[in-house]
Amino acid sequence: MEMTRRKMLNNSRFLCFMLDNENYCIDILRVKELMGMTDITPLPGTPGFIRGVINLRGLIIPVIDLRLKFGLPFRDYSKRTCIIVVEVTYENEIVLMGIVVDAIQEVVSIPEEKLSKIPYINARIKSEYIKGIADTQDGIKIVLDVLKVLNEKELAVVKETAAVPKAETVENTK
């Protein structure tokens, strides 16, 4: 038990989710919260992958659909569809953003040595989003870099939609 705890501390922890029958992971420290699918208020005049905004305990946060961002076909949201609320830093400000994924699987700890930096060549996803490939017991998982998923322009749009209260949260976390 002590060994595993240590092991867990030594290793970086990742949240695994499913997107179009493929396993992806993101750094758990970037994850603020997990939630089921709620009503999304659509925003006009924004790119297609920005589905709209949700109210997370008083906070208005933008939600993007990763499928659409990755150029995958849109799928109707089901019971399994979840929103991962992540923290993104933009212009030294922490911005909260919801990412719609097909399903959340588990929290895994991947040791540094298992995380290969070899860029994963995937036709569907641009390699710049990919941090590396993790070879786990459950199979190969693609580790995404959340910060690189959205470019500057998009992050600006996200930030505009997120508005003021986020600064406080950024301050709070700091």
Partner 1 sequence: MKNKTGTGFRIMMMAVVLTVISVIVGVIGLYTTKTTGSLADNIYQQDLLCILYTDQMHSYLQTAAYTIEKAHDATADELKAYKEQVISLNSSFQEADKQGRLCLETDRGKELYSVIEEAEKEYLSNEFKYFDLIAAGKSKEADIIADTVLDQLLSQKIKPAIEELSKITQAKAVKEYSMSIHTADFAVILIIAAISAGLILSLTIGIIVTRSITKPVTKIVNSLSDSAGQIAISSSQLSASSQEIANGAQEQASSIEETTSSMEELSSMVKQNLASVRQASLLSEKATEASQTGFDKMNDMLTAMNSISKSAEDIKNVIDVIDDISFQTNMLALNAAVEAARAGEAGMGFAVVADEVKNLANRSSDSAKETAGMIKDALKNVETGLSISNELSGIFRDILNNSKKVLEMNREVESASGQQDEGIGQVNQALIQLDTVVQTNASGAEETASAAEELQGQVTIVNDIMDDLYEVITGKKYTGSRISSSSPKSHTGPVKSVAAAHSLPVKKTVPAAGGPKTDGKQAVSGSVKKTAAAKGSLTKDEHVISFEDDEDFKPV
Chain contacts with partner 1 (rule: CB under 8 A): 1, 5, 8-9, 13, 15, 28-29, 31-36, 79-80, 82, 104, 106-107
Instruction: Give 102 or 154: the residue with its C-beta nearer to partner 1.
Output: 102
- For residue 59, the minimal CB distance to partner 1 (Å) is 16
- For residue 165, the minimal CB distance to partner 1 (Å) is 20
Instruction: Give 26 or 50: the residue with its C-beta nearer to partner 1.
Output: 26
- For residue 77, the minimal CB distance to partner 1 (Å) is 14
CA atoms within 13 A on the CB side of 156: 3
* Alpha carbon distance, N-terminus to C-terminus of the chain: 32
Q: How many other C-beta atoms can be found within 10 angstroms of the C-beta atom of residue 29?
A: 12
Instruction: Give 9 or 167: the residue with its C-beta nearer to partner 1.
Output: 9
- C-alpha–C-alpha distance, residues 55 and 20, integer Å: 26
φ/ψ region of 139 (left if φ > 0, alpha if ψ in -120 to 50, else beta) reads: left
CB 16 within 8 Å of CB 141? yes
Instruction: Give 50 or 86: the residue with its C-beta nearer to partner 1.
Output: 86
- For residue 126, the minimal CB distance to partner 1 (Å) is 27
- For residue 79, the minimal CB distance to partner 1 (Å) is 7
Instruction: Give 32 or 125: the residue with its C-beta nearer to partner 1.
Output: 32
Strands of the chain (E only): list them: 12-19, 22-27, 31-36, 50-56, 59-65, 82-90, 93-101, 103-110, 115-116, 130-136, 139-144
DSSP structural state of residue 60:
E
